[in-house]
Chain A
Amino acid sequence: MKAERTRPKTPKETRVLTGRSLRAAISSMATAIQGDQKGTSPVAIVGIQSRGVPLAARLAGCLETATRRKIDLGSLDITLYRDDLSTVGTRPILKATRIPFSIDGRTVILVDDVLYTGRTIRAALDELVDFGRPARIALAVLIDRGHRELPIQADYVGKGIKTSRLDRVDVRLTEIDGTDEVVLVKR
């Protein structure tokens, strides 16, 4: 068990990743993605709104530095593909979906912050195939917290953690939250 996990921020909060370990996790995911690259066409990276988008940008940055090639980077808002739109109370505000390149025949890395039930990824897969027919879609997540409700798994995981369904996992990223850290909030 890491030192930071024994330094809870409040009685109920446990820090799962510090800023430094979060950045290291992203960098090792990028190394793993690069190791799996086959052929000449570089991967395309698509982040799921909201926190998947800056994570995708950071992964793309790592890969660009390593390969000295431009990486296609997109964003996906899965709201319109959600399976619970008829039960959520208020209409979620839409964020940008931008995939300004062809995904046909490419390897696409989908990126999200937390993998939980798998329902977001199901929606993202449905949406992504409306843009074309990738050769392969892989999934990269910073945190895998278990409790899948669909047969979905990640190909690249920053850190797997044990949680209860009642817990909350807060991923904070500098681009959105002003700081890099992951916190597990026990209920």
Chain B
Amino acid sequence: MPLGEVTSPRLPWTRRHLLGIEPLSVEEITLILDTAVQMREIMDRPIKKVPTLRGRTVVNLFMEASTRTRASFEMAERILSADSLSIQAAGSSVAKGESLLDTVKNLEAMTPDVIVIRHSSAGAANFLARTCNSRIVNAGDGAHEHPTQALLDALTLRQAKGRIEGLRVAIVGDVLHSRVARSNIHLLTKMGAEVTLCAPPTLLPQSFSNVVTLNWRFDEAIEGVDVVMMLRLQQERMTSAFISTTREYHAQYGLTMARLKKAKTDVVVLHPGPMNRGVEIASDVADSKSSLILDQVTNGVAVRMAVLYLLLGGGRE
């Protein structure tokens, strides 16, 4: 099976929460990825269910729109036999004006073991970890972090390339609004990849310039890279004129077949979804054999299974 070799040092997992990639060590990241490799195998079985988290309860609290991530967490919970329920902001008491803390305190009174939280405010997951008793998994908080996305990207790269260390990666697009970019910058640089960020100057924050290369010319940034990680243009988060038109954005920063030819011949393309076809990525690229976009989705379930197992698999305190 073409899944990266298991390399983890035998260290036990000790964290209660998964809030971001930034606090994790290389060993912890490797342990999650190695665990995910074994979880991935379950998805190929005729019966895709193991009894590991029987009797454990997970609440998926999604205060912001999500299809992929929520479905992926739910699938991971079901395969591991956890009981789960999903709550979305629309149609919940949040719509009636209840605060995040009150919502969570009330859910906690029903004694879940884990709360998976997606929220539009950076720091929402850390806030819950400080104020609640449940284990918290960050499923995306504003423009801060989306750790399980970076982990599934890493698993996908390890599968395709056999390693992460030494890979040349271009992260392209709306870096400013992207929690996916932030989590990936932390993960890829910790694991020894060489990262270039590429975006229009208005969408290219300077904060990572000590660990990554910044380049606002896509045709230069893509030269000779092993991996192109495209980001979605997050127009719903844009509070002022960051770009002129989506058409011009596509001309300058859209990934087309012509641009892809400047990368290495065995280049792979990742996109966290949902894609804006014809904006940040051309349709033929998204559907090409270089694209690993659907492998990312499959690996997402395996990574979330690994995270839930590591946070919950052992003893209750």
**Interface set, chain A 108-131, CB cutoff 8 A to B:** 126-127, 130-131
Instruction: Say yes or no: A77 contacts B38, CB within 8 Å.
Output: yes
Say yes or no: is A1 at the interface (Cβ < 8 Å to chain B): no
A96 to B8, CA, bound (A): 13
Contact stretch, chosen from B44-52, B149-157, B210-218: B44-52
Identify B314's interface contact among A81, A85, A97, A130, CB under 8 A.
A85
Shortest CB–CB separation between residue A97 and chain B, in angstroms? 6
Chain A hits for B52, CB < 8 A: 79-81, 85
User: Contact: A87 with B8, CB < 8 Å?
Assistant: no
Q: How far is the CB of A78 from chain B (nearest CB, A)?
A: 10
**Complex: A92 Cα to B6 Cα, angstroms:** 15
A60 to B299 alpha-carbon distance, docked (Å): 33
A98 and B13 contact, CB distance less than 8 A: no
Measured between C-beta atoms, what is the minimum distance from A84 to chain B in Å?
A: 10
> Does A91 lie within 8 Å of B12, measured CB to CB?
yes
Binary contact track A126-145/B, C-beta < 8 Å → 1, others 0: 11001110000000000000
**Residues on A with beta carbons closer than 8 Å to the beta carbon of B38:** 77, 94-97
We find that the number of chain A residues with CB closer than 8 angstroms to chain B is 24
Beta-carbon contacts under 8 Å, B46-83 to A: 46-47, 49-52, 55, 80
Our pick among B45, B309, B313 for the contact of A131 (Cβ within 8 Å) is: B45
Chain B residues within 8 Å of A88, by CB: 314-315
Could you say which of A79, A80, A98 has the most chain B C-beta atoms within 10 Å of its C-beta?
Answer: A80
Structural contact, B47 and A91, CB atoms closer than 8 A = no
Query: When chains A and B are docked, how far (Å) is the Cα of A80 from the Cα of B76?
Result: 14
In the complex, whether A93 has a CB less than 8 A from a CB of chain B is yes
Q: Is the CB–CB distance between B316 and A81 below 8 Å?
A: no
The residue among B6, B12, B31, B38 with the most chain A CB atoms within 10 A of its own CB is B38
Q: In the assembly, what is the distance between CA of A97 and CA of B309, in Å?
A: 16
Instruction: For the complex formed, measure the closest distance between the CB of B315 and the CB atoms of chain A, giving whole angstroms.
Output: 5
- Closest Cβ of chain B to A87, distance in Å, is 6
Give A126 Cβ to nearest chain B Cβ, in Å: 7
Indicate which residue in A91, A94, A95, A98 contacts B1 across the interface (CB closer than 8 Å).
A98
Judge whether B310 is part of the interface by a CB distance below 8 angstroms. Answer: yes
Point out the residues of chain A lying under 8 angstroms from B47, CB to CB.
130-131
Would you give the shortest CB distance from A25 to chain B, in whole angstroms? Answer: 29
Query: Secondary structure of the A side of the interface?
Result: loop
- Give the Cβ gap from A82 to chain B, nearest Cβ, in Å: 8
Which residues of A are found within 8 Å of B45, using beta-carbon distances?
Answer: 130-131
Cβ-closest chain A residue relative to B13: A91
Q: Is A86 an interface residue (CB 8 A)?
A: yes
CB–CB A94/B35 < 8 A: yes
**Which chain A residues numbered 49 to 98 have a C-beta less than 8 Å away from chain B?**
77, 79-81, 85-98
Residues of B within 8 A of A80 (CB): 42, 50-52, 80, 309
Q: For B313, what are the chain A residues with a Cβ–Cβ distance below 8 Å?
A: 85, 91-92
Which B4-35 residues have C-beta < 8 A from chain A?
A: 6, 8, 10, 12-13, 31, 34-35
Cβ A93 vs Cβ B10 within 8 A = yes
The residue from B50, B80, B314 contacting A89, defined by CB atoms under 8 A apart: B314
Q: What's the Cα separation between A80 and B55 when bound, in Å?
A: 14
Shortest Cβ gap from B187 to chain A (Å): 20
User: What residue in chain A is nearest B306 (Cβ atoms)?
Assistant: A94
Is A90 in contact with B51, judged by CB distance below 8 angstroms?
Answer: no
- Contact check: which of B8, B51, B80 meets A93 at CB < 8 Å? B8
Tell me which residues across on chain A come within 8 A of B10, comparing CB atoms. Answer: 93
Using A88-B315, A89-B314, A91-B310 as known contacts, say yes or no to A96 and B46 having CB atoms under 8 A apart.
no
Chain B, range 267-317, C-beta contacts under 8 Å to A: 309-310, 313-316
Instruction: Please report the C-alpha to C-alpha distance between residue A132 and residue B39 in the assembled complex, in whole angstroms.
Output: 19
Decide: A126 near B51, CB < 8 A? Known: A87-B315, A95-B38, A96-B38: yes
Contact of A96 with B310 in the complex, beta carbons under 8 Å: no
- A83 — nearest CB in chain B belongs to which residue? B51
How far in angstroms is the closest Cβ of chain A from B215?
40
A-B pairs, 6 with minimum CB distance: A90-B12, A94-B38, A91-B313, A130-B47, A80-B50, A80-B52
A-contacting residues of B (Cβ < 8 Å)? Answer: 1, 6, 8, 10, 12-13, 31, 34-35, 38-39, 41-42, 45-47, 49-52, 55, 80, 309-310, 313-316
Q: A94-B34, A98-B1 given; name 17 further pairs at CB < 8 Å.
A: A79-B52, A81-B50, A81-B51, A85-B313, A85-B314, A86-B315, A90-B315, A91-B313, A91-B314, A92-B313, A93-B10, A93-B35, A94-B35, A94-B39, A94-B309, A95-B38, A131-B46
Q: List 9 A-B contacts (CB under 8 A).
A: A80-B50, A90-B12, A93-B8, A93-B31, A94-B309, A97-B38, A126-B51, A131-B47, A132-B46
